Amino acid sequence: MKALIPLVLAVALPWSTLDIPFLFDGPLNSPGTLQLLGVCLVFGGLALGYDLLFGHAGLLSFGHALFIALGAYGVGILVNHFYWPLWTAVLLAVAGAAIAAFLLGAVALRVTGIALAMVTLAFAQVGWIVVNRDPGGLTGGEEGLPLGPAAVPGFLVGVANTVNLYWLALAFLVVVVAIVHGIRRAPLGRVLTGLRDDERRIAVLGLSPYRIKLATFVLAGALAALGGVVYVLLTGGATPYLASTDLTLSLIVMAVLGGAGTRWGALLGGIVYAYLDQRLTHVGGSLPGPLGQPLFVLGTLFVLAVAFVPGGLAGLRRRTLSATAS
Amino acid sequence: MSTVVLLTLTGLGLAALYFLIASGLSLVFGLAGVLNFAHGLFLSVGAYAGWFVATHWALGPAIPVGVAAGAATGALVELVVIRPLYRRPTEQVLATVGLSLAGVALLQSIWGADPRSYPRPAWTAHTTGVLGAQVPDDRFLLIGAAVLVLAALLAFLRWTRYGLIIRAGVENRAMVSALGIDVRAAFTLVFTLGGALAGAAGVLGGMYFGSVSPGQGAGLLIFAFIVVVIGGLGSVTGCAVAAVAVGLLQQFVNYYGTSGAGDVSVVALLAVVLLLRPGGVAGKVTA
């Protein structure tokens, strides 16, 4: 129930005119701040969804961006080029991504460990190539694919409606949290942890590791696609970055920084990473040399965290708690 | 006919580049078990070091300087980042991921994100007639370098004491340690070696593409990964065979199919190889 307090605060946040200097440029309910927070929430959800694979089931996939891009570009293409209504397009894009995750997962999950990482990386690379080649003018190549405002319902368009987009992002995050935490509590969650720790034992218990992993892969793919859709609505269009390996690497960084496989770690990591990434880009120009590059700061932080803070932010908290208790 | 010859030699040139990157990657993985995402960074560092020397001083020392810079980066990364994380393989992979992100950003902050044009020896701009095809000479530079490296690497692995330790370590690391040999020194060695080869690939790749950018290493790295997996982790000859297969396939399909189809077909080849022979073409053997 403790989780409800931050949720209520997050829902109520757009009514606050609190101005936090340095952290945000404007008051909390200004469109700029809400947009920034919305992107943070989406990345929190994406990171938690990825952590279902990486932290919970122990599947090191380097192809998660593919499914985010499938959701993002799927909606963009259906809405812009085929004039579908937004919500039908969203449904179809997410379903399409789930089917793609099923087909690719069926091949990729035949191998484990590093080989799995390689195969998923290669599949995602195909997505990146296709998006950049702009087949038939569908994806817009390097320019990206801006979402035509005519197709989007009025309450999601325009600066004044940023607050609705913020709530949409929050809703996405809540959905991901509900699903991932539901799985954690269900017997399936324990099976996943078992798969991560010792796959043979799960097989000996009479369960099929392959099928469970595939189901998890499909679910994570669908959540990623949904996140991609929300990201497109929030930022107004799909960009090739959504299909890039860099995005998957960022998700890994988020999950690990926050604490992979913990209840709130990846979510927290995603929010903090996305916040730093955007803020550092914003204030970057005023910082000297490499400090002006967000990825330099984040990458260095990440290496340090991996080396010195195993368990990420969540692990840090646990250790502080146990230190104060003893 | 002349098109086929040109495509073959261009494909082999690309294969040579892949081999230079992938062989170091493969040895590092085979011995130390580290999937090294920072390998692309070694390449970029080598490329920029070579570029700096070539534009500010002379073209001749560009290759040795690039190789030395790549080797130094490799050794430094192993000593500072990888070694403390020994016995934590996932963390090692993650640390190299972080390094590749930070390193590329660092290069970008120094030399900017835009590609810089790369100086090249005048003779590489000429072409040579081979069986009726006019083949640019830079292909021969790459192929020659790769063949030289392949021969040197095989000789090193076969006839030197350190080569023996590396081969034995790929085969069974625990046994080598049990025999009282410090495998960790060999880790530093393969990282340095891999860095040197990546540095060479950086300079030669810069001359081949005619430009260098911070993200170049990462772009090539994905294909090098594919070559490593197809060739069998830890095998240098497997790597060479896989590099040739990937380079040729990519060139031919890109020419005869639509643009981009070559890259996709390489991924398809990877999927097929993994499904039929999960250990790669060579299985797990060095040399």
Query: Is position A5 within any domain?
Result: no
Question: How far apart are the C-alpha atoms of A67 and A73, rounded to whole Å?
Answer: 10
Structure confidence at residue A95 as a pLDDT band (50, 70, 90): very high
Which of A139-153, B55-69, B187-201 has the lowest average pLDDT? A139-153
Determine whether B77 is exposed, middle or buried from the number of CB atoms within 10 Å of its CB (0-12, 13-18, 19+).
buried
Query: Is position A90 within any domain?
Result: yes
Query: How many other CB atoms sit within 10 Å of the CB of residue A103?
Result: 12
In total, how many domains does chain B have?
A: 1
Query: Is position B261 within any domain?
Result: no
Structure confidence at residue A326 as a pLDDT band (50, 70, 90): low
* pLDDT at position A168 over 80: yes
For chain A positions 305-324, those within 8 Å of chain B (CB to CB) are: 306-307, 310
DSSP string, A31-100: HHHHHHHHHHHHHHHHHHHHHIIIIIS----S-HHHHHHHHHHHHHHHHHHS---HHHHHHHHHHHHHHH
DSSP 8-state assignment for residue A147: P
Furthest-apart CA pair in chain B: how many Å? 58
Token pair for residue A99?
Answer: 């089917």
* pLDDT at position B84 over 60: yes
Question: How far apart are the C-alpha atoms of B59 and B49, rounded to whole Å?
Answer: 12
Asked whether the beta carbons of B20 and B149 are under 8 A apart, the reply is: yes
- The range of the structural domain enclosing residue B16 comes to 2-112+133-216
- The range of the structural domain enclosing residue A150 comes to 31-325
Q: Which residue of B has its CA nearest to A298?
A: B102
The owner of tokens 């001359």 is B207
Determine contact: B29 vs chain A, CB below 8 A: yes
**pLDDT digits 0-9 by tens, A43-72:** 999 999 999 998 888 888 888 999 999 999
Structure confidence at residue B287 as a pLDDT band (50, 70, 90): very low
Report the SS3 class of residue A237: strand
Token pair for residue B6?
Answer: 């040109």
Distance from CA of B33 to the nearest CA of A (A): 10
**Beta-bridge partners for B134:** B129
Structure confidence at residue B280 as a pLDDT band (50, 70, 90): low
Question: How far apart are the C-alpha atoms of B277 and B279, rounded to whole Å?
Answer: 5
Question: How far apart are the C-alpha atoms of A55 and A192, rounded to whole Å?
Answer: 10
Mean pLDDT of A12-33: 74
Chains A and B form CB pairs within 8 A to the count of 114
**Beta-bridge partners for B117:** B211
Query: Is position B223 within any domain?
Result: no
For chain B positions 181-200, those within 8 Å of chain A (CB to CB) are: none
Determine contact: B16 vs chain A, CB below 8 A: no
A114–B98 C-beta distance less than 8 A: no
**pLDDT digits 0-9 by tens, A182-215:** 998 888 888 888 888 888 888 888 888 889 999 9
Query: Is position A19 within any domain?
Result: no
Contacts of B229 in chain A (CB under 8 A): 115, 118
Question: How far apart are the C-alpha atoms of B271 and B280, rounded to whole Å?
Answer: 11
In total, how many domains does chain A have?
A: 1
Half-sphere exposure of A79 (CA within 13 A, CB side): 29
Query: How many other CB atoms sit within 10 Å of the CB of residue B273?
Result: 20
A290–B110 C-beta distance less than 8 A: yes
* pLDDT at position A221 over 90: yes
- Specify the pLDDT at position A231: 92
Query: Is position B166 within any domain?
Result: yes
Helix H or strand E segment including A312: helix A312-325
Percentage of residues in chain A with pLDDT exceeding 70? 94
CA-CA-CA-CA torsion sign (B84, B89, B94, B96): positive
- Specify the pLDDT at position A12: 73
Q: To probe the interface with A, which of B107, B267, B272 has the most A CB atoms within 10 Å?
A: B267
CA-closest candidate to residue A61, choices A125, A126, A130, A119: A119
Asked whether the beta carbons of B107 and B51 are under 8 A apart, the reply is: no
**pLDDT digits 0-9 by tens, B192-207:** 998 999 998 888 888 8
Structure confidence at residue B281 as a pLDDT band (50, 70, 90): low
- Specify the pLDDT at position A228: 93
Percentage of residues in chain A with pLDDT exceeding 90? 22
Report the SS3 class of residue A290: helix
A285 versus B159: the higher-pLDDT residue is B159
Query: Is position A260 within any domain?
Result: yes
Query: Is position B246 within any domain?
Result: no
- Specify the pLDDT at position B283: 53
- Specify the pLDDT at position A144: 79
Determine contact: B131 vs chain A, CB below 8 A: no
For residue A123, give the nearest of B102, B104, B267 by CB distance: B267
Mean pLDDT of B176-193: 85
Token pair for residue B158?
Answer: 């076969």
Query: Is position A78 within any domain?
Result: yes
Half-sphere exposure of A251 (CA within 13 A, CB side): 32
Distance from CA of A270 to the nearest CA of B (A): 15
**pLDDT digits 0-9 by tens, A227-279:** 999 999 888 888 888 888 889 988 988 888 888 778 888 888 899 888 888 88
Mean pLDDT of A117-142: 81
- Specify the pLDDT at position A225: 94
Question: Three-state SS string across chain B, please?
Answer: CHHHHHHHHHHHHHHHHHHHHHHHHHHHHHHHCCCCCCHHHHHHHHHHHHHHHHHHCCCCCHHHHHHHHHHHHHHHHHHHHHHHHCCCHHHHHHHHHHHHHHHHHHHHHHHCCCCEECCCCHHHHCEEEECCEEEECHHHHHHHHHHHHHHHHHHHHHHCHHHHHHHHHHHCHHHHHHCCCCHHHHHHHHHHHHHHHHHHHHHHHHHHHCEECCCHHHHHHHHHHHHHHHHCCCCHHHHHHHHHHHHHHHHHHHHHCCCCHHHHHHHHHHHHHHHHCCCCCCCCCCC
Query: Is position A67 within any domain?
Result: yes
A117–B264 C-beta distance less than 8 A: no
B100–A307 C-beta distance less than 8 A: no
Amino acid identity, residue B92? Answer: Q
Mean of the per-residue pLDDT values of chain B: 82
At residue B208, φ and ψ (nearest 5 deg) are -70, -50
Percentage of residues in chain B with pLDDT exceeding 90? 3
Residue A276's CATH number = 1.10.3470
